[in-house]
Structure 1
Amino acid sequence: MKKYKRLLIALNCLIVLMVFNYSIYKNEQLLDDNSIVFFELAPVDPRSLMQGDYMILDYKNSSTNTSDSIASRGYLVFNLDENNVGTKVRLQKDKEPLSDNEFILKYTKRNNWRLNFGAESYFFEEGQADSFERAEYGALKIDEDGNSLLVGLYDKDLKKINPKGEN
């Protein structure tokens, strides 16, 4: 029995590592293969005493007026302007239909009036909150299925905020 127990533990560890590495691979593909889309932020407080400095992001496109008719999971359909700034067109339950210059971003309903895009917090080094207070855009990389990764915060001129002067 001990022999099988060790084999089962080893097999479970292998499966966990495979799933974890596949997730990393998918995120790396998303970062490499997609262009940056900017979404305007609503102001929030950049401080958490329990976790250090971080900013909870609230996107202007995430607010809704009617919560009852919105599916708990779905897609925000948006279009892009000449600066790659996304603007909400509509919400829909499925990926299709899409018109020209329309793209999708997955959402879940956070509460009655807000949507969650999966990129709602940004962590930074302690003591750099002042630099990030001027953030007006969250930059996301979004794949064709609507999955997203937050890649940075940008100011009103769409310049990446780098408090240490890094590029």
Structure 2
Amino acid sequence: MGTAMLYLANSHRRVLFWVVVTVVALLTMVNWRIAQFEQLLQDGKVVRFALAPVDPRSIMQGDYMVLEYAIAQEVRAALPEGMTQGQLLLTLDSQKVARFVGIYRDQPKTAEQLTVDFRLRNHRVKLASNSFFFEEGQADHFSQAKFGEFRVSERGELLLVNLLDDQLQPL
């Protein structure tokens, strides 16, 4: 009986060890990703995308705004058949609003150009986020959004920061 208890205790210790290792690994990865987002918020270049109008209501999820980008049609027209992700080559105007130049394929770019990641899902161009959630009852306020303001990293990763009105002021 004593051997069985010792074996049980050893197996419990092994399980506990692996549970602790797994939890520490997960927490480390989550905190690493949070730190990357914080760095992007602090150091990322500001880029704004004009939005196309979309209905801001979901019965299942509450109030939110589906983000459709004005450049989406240009992007879809320029995509080679079968391409579902990559990088867009953009320029910024004086107000930091993105203008589509083409699909980036490792060609040289000018100092004024930047690249951002994109994916094509269900025939929709997806940048960082295709939705923006807000408090219930705020649909009228956020339906005024004309631009999405993002931070972009050197690698082309985007992070949505604000929705902006037609004067580029945060809502």
TM-score by length of 1: 0.89
What is residue 108 of structure 1 aligned with on the other side? 119
Secondary structure, aligned partner of 2:47: strand
Which of the two has higher C-alpha Rg? 2
Query: Which residues in structure 2 correspond to 1:93-132 (within 5 Å)?
Result: 93-94=105-106, 96-112=107-123, 114-132=124-142
Secondary structure, aligned partner of 1:65: helix
Give identity over the alignment, percent: 36
- The answer to whether the 8 Å contact 1:73/1:93 transfers is no
Query: What is the CA distance between 1:62 and its match in structure 2?
Result: 2.2
* Higher helix proportion (structure 1 or 2): 2
Q: CA-to-partner distance for each residue in 1:133-162, whole Å, 9 max, x for gaps?
A: 11110001100101111011111111111x
Letter aligned with residue 42 of structure 1? A
Query: What is the CA distance between 1:51 and its match in structure 2?
Result: 1.2
Structure 2: gaps spanning 5 or more residues: 1-10
What is residue 23 of structure 1 aligned with on the other side? 33
Moved more, 66-75 or 101-110: 66-75
Query: What is the distance in 2 between the residues matched to 1:45 and 1:26?
Result: 32
What is residue 145 of structure 1 aligned with on the other side? 155
Query: What is the distance in 1 between the residues matched to 2:78 and 2:110?
Result: 24
Structure 1: gaps spanning 5 or more residues: 162-167
Query: What is the CA distance between 1:68 and its match in structure 2?
Result: 4.4
TM-score by length of 2: 0.87
What is residue 72 of structure 1 aligned with on the other side? 84
Secondary structure, aligned partner of 1:45: coil
Query: What is the distance in 1 between the residues matched to 2:26 and 2:170?
Result: 35
- The answer to whether the 8 Å contact 1:77/1:91 transfers is yes
Secondary structure, aligned partner of 1:3: helix
Q: CA-to-partner distance for each residue in 1:82-136, whole Å, 9 max, x for gaps?
A: 1111111001345x53223000110111134x32112111111110100111111
- 2:100 paired with 1:88: yes
What's the C-alpha RMSD, in Å, of the aligned pairs?
1.5
